[in-house]
Each structure stands twice: as structure tokens, then as C-alpha cells.
Structure 1
Amino acid sequence: MVVPYESISFADVQTEATRLATGDTSTVDAWFAGTDISHPVVVWDPDRTDLVTAPIIFLYDYWKARVPEGEVGMRASDLAPYDLVPALGYIMLLDILDGGRDFRYRLFGSKIAEIAKFDSTGLRISETKAHPLMKAFFSTVYEAVLQKRTPIYTEHNPPPNLTIATWHRVVLPLHDGSGTITKFLVGNVPTPYHEPEVRTAKMFD
């Protein structure tokens, strides 16, 4: 089945985020069907062994070590930028707006911007220069994490004009101390472009 990504609305994102939170990627896959962009890989609550790049492993370990027992994630107030030096350039920090109707990049890593050829710092996802399908996918992933309150790891290939990299992403929820998730700490690291069957084998060997 092919679902035209041009017609994806906020209601679609909400619905598909709920599905994605259960592990159902069928409609997200349908968004990618018929395009030149490979279907993404999605792993909920990843193990450390699922992660394949050093900056993402560092961020995951950093976050996990700071999650108080019984809480949904790390407290945003515990985030110390000077602790994140090993992942600098590959970090995105997003604010959650209007209960998840949109997300704003408080920080868009310099190395990410160099590869993507645009800097989204200060912009909402809806305002960025990303491909419309990527905007829908990113919004769905972030909304799903907001609903499920659990980290997620994804791999995706960009549109054909940016096939210099395959992107590895981990999304880590940050809360305000009362349990309300207010931000996401995200690691986003490119590796040499490769097709999905190679990507999957690499992840799960």
C-alpha cells in the first residue's frame, strides 16, 4: 500500500504515533512506499548492543545513568552541557510544543547541519527545510516517544539528494521533575550510506 506523504496531517501523525508506540510500522512504511527513500528501522527501548555509533552509545549511557528509579526518564534540570563533549556536534535538543503538536529544535548539532546542509536551531519541525516525508516521520517518532515515554532508536536513509549518509538516531525523554516530558535529548549520527537489508543485518547480527 502507498500513502501519499503530501497528504499527511497532524491527525495522521497522532494516529500513526499511537500505532508506532505499539510497534506497528505498517502505515509509516506505507508513507515510504513508492518513494526513493528506504523504509526506516525502528527499535523501541533499545539495548546498548542495538546502537552502532560511539556518540549515540555515549548519550544513551549518559541518559540511562541519570534516570532516577521509578521515573520515566532523566530530569531536564540534570542535563549538563559540559558533560556532553564526547557527542558534541551530533546532539539535538528539542522542546515539546502544544502537547506534541509540534517540536522545536533548541539545538541542532553543527555536524548534523554540515551533512544536512541546513541548520534548524530555533525552528519548529514544521518550519525546517527537511523533506516533507522526513518531517512527518520525525514528528511521528517524537510523538510516539511522548506517548510511550520510552527511548527509541531509528535508522533511516535521507532523500536521494542526500545519500551521502545513513542516519542513526536515539531519542531520550527528559521530564520536568513531576513526570511531564518536556524535552527530548537526541543523538543523530551519519554513517556511510547503505541499503536497508545491510542496515538491518548490521544492527541485529
Structure 2
Amino acid sequence: MQTPEMEQLVVDMLGDRQMVLKDYFTARGARLDMLAWYPTTTDTDHAAMRFLIEYWHRLRGDAEIPKACDVSPFELKPALGHIVLIDVLEDGWDGRFRLYGTKVAETYGRDMTGRLISEIDGGNYVSVFFRSLYRAAWLRRAPYYSHHFPPAHVAVESWQRLALPLAGADGQVSRFLACNIAGPWRPPAWKSRTIQPETAA
């Protein structure tokens, strides 16, 4: 179920109101370094993400977005471990993890395959933001790349995220081919405060 806060975030995302979105993170002791629609390979320094961006464009050809049925698991080997496949639910307001990469699960501390996006982190600010972002991407039918830095008590220094929309038989966005890359660990930051690590934040 979406909230008024989420609905406003979607409006801000569709309007590309970068300062408003950055203020959302700043108010929570975090930092949004980048949110880019239609990312290119120059937006990220990670090889897996660069590969997926090129693969998505190659797969779609002259179409607006590629078909989900055309994605081949055998062609995704360069990004395996970091790949997250999300089946769209509720017109983009939620989604179910069809595949949750092993490296992503290792960092998060659990395998979310078969679970919902809305189940992550009890609806904290990151969950609210990215559920809104998936909704905006569903409406916009566009890929996005984000890079953010969680608050100091979080055990992971940063997260890079990439989401590439895929079309179902009806032409609507039915799935996201996503990729999550965690930055360096910083366990002393939360151990010294006896706060549990929120690795997915």
C-alpha cells in the first residue's frame, strides 16, 4: 500500500527534482550522490552494471524497452551474483523478487527470493524511496541508476543500484532487470555504537 509520502516522491522523481530528492536523504543522515534516468556506461565504474546497460540496449534494438521473454540467463553471466530480477506488482508500487543475486544476499544478510520489496527493512526511508522509484520507473518506462551513501551507523558505505524495465506480453513493464552493488564494509561505525547493521539501507 502506497502512502502520501511515496506518492509525493513519485511526483518529485517524475519531475526530476534532484535537490528535493537529495534533501530527502540528507534529512535522514544519508546522501544521494546520483539519480540518473537512462544511465549510460559512464555513470558507473562497475563492470557488471556497464555490461547490463549495454545488454539492455542491445536487446531492445529499435523498441522502447526489451521484452522480458527475450532475456537469456546464459547471456547474463558477466553480472551473475549482482543480478536481481523483480516481477512488478500493483502497477509498480511493489514487486516480488524472482531472483536475488548471491552477492546481494550475502551483503544484505538474507536471500529475498520470493519475497516482496515492501518487506525490506520494515518500510524504512530506503524502502520507501526505492518503492517510489520503481513506481516512477514503471510509469516512465525508463531505466535508472542511483548511488547513495547511508547514515554512518550502517555497515555498508554505499550502494549503487541499476534497474532496467522489461515488457510483458501486453507491452506494459512487467519486470525489472536490476543490479545492486555494495560499497566497502565499515563495521567499526556500527559496532562502536552497538547498533545493528542495516546493510540494505
Instruction: Give TM-score, length-normalised by structure 1.
Output: 0.81
- What is the CA deviation profile of residues 21-67 of structure 1, one whole-angstrom value per residue up to 9, with x for unaligned ones? 22113443343233222234201111221121001001111111000
Partner of 2:142: 150
User: Is the contact made by 2:92 and 2:138 (CA closer than 8 Å) also made in structure 1?
Assistant: yes
Instruction: Give TM-score, length-normalised by structure 2.
Output: 0.83
* Cα separation, 2, equivalents of 1:113 and 1:60: 22
- What is the CA deviation profile of residues 130-182 of structure 1, one whole-angstrom value per residue up to 9, with x for unaligned ones? 66111011111111111111111100123444343421111100001442100
User: Is the contact made by 1:46 and 1:152 (CA closer than 8 Å) also made in structure 2?
Assistant: yes
**5 Å matches for 1:72-83?**
72-83=64-75
The one-letter code matched in structure 1 to 2:47 is A
Partner of 2:31: 38
**5 Å matches for 1:68-107?**
68-69=61-62, 71-107=63-99
User: Is the contact made by 1:157 and 1:163 (CA closer than 8 Å) also made in structure 2?
Assistant: no
The one-letter code matched in structure 2 to 1:46 is P
* Cα separation, 2, equivalents of 1:131 and 1:163: 18
Which segments of 5 or more consecutive residues in structure 2 lack a partner in the other structure? 187-201
The one-letter code matched in structure 2 to 1:50 is D
* Cα separation, 1, equivalents of 2:166 and 2:11: 20
The one-letter code matched in structure 1 to 2:118 is S
The one-letter code matched in structure 2 to 1:24 is R
* Cα separation, 2, equivalents of 1:176 and 1:62: 18
From 143, 166, 169, the equivalent of 2:158 is 166
CA RMSD of aligned residues (A): 2.2
The one-letter code matched in structure 2 to 1:39 is L
Which segments of 5 or more consecutive residues in structure 1 lack a partner in the other structure? 1-7, 195-205
The one-letter code matched in structure 2 to 1:164 is V
Partner of 1:197: none
C-alpha deviation, 1:192, in angstroms: 2.8
- What is the CA deviation profile of residues 80-136 of structure 1, one whole-angstrom value per residue up to 9, with x for unaligned ones? 111111111100111111212311111111101111222221111111236611101
The one-letter code matched in structure 2 to 1:173 is P
* Cα separation, 1, equivalents of 2:101 and 2:68: 18
Query: Do residues 19 (structure 1) and 12 (structure 2) align?
Result: yes
Residues 131 and 14 (structure 1), Cα distance of their counterparts in 2 relative to 1, 3 Å cut: closer
Query: Do residues 124 (structure 1) and 116 (structure 2) align?
Result: yes
SS state at 1:128 partner: helix
Query: Do residues 57 (structure 1) and 50 (structure 2) align?
Result: yes
How many residues are aligned here?
186
**5 Å matches for 1:182-197?**
182-192=174-184
The one-letter code matched in structure 2 to 1:96 is V
* Cα separation, 2, equivalents of 1:112 and 1:131: 19
Partner of 2:59: 66
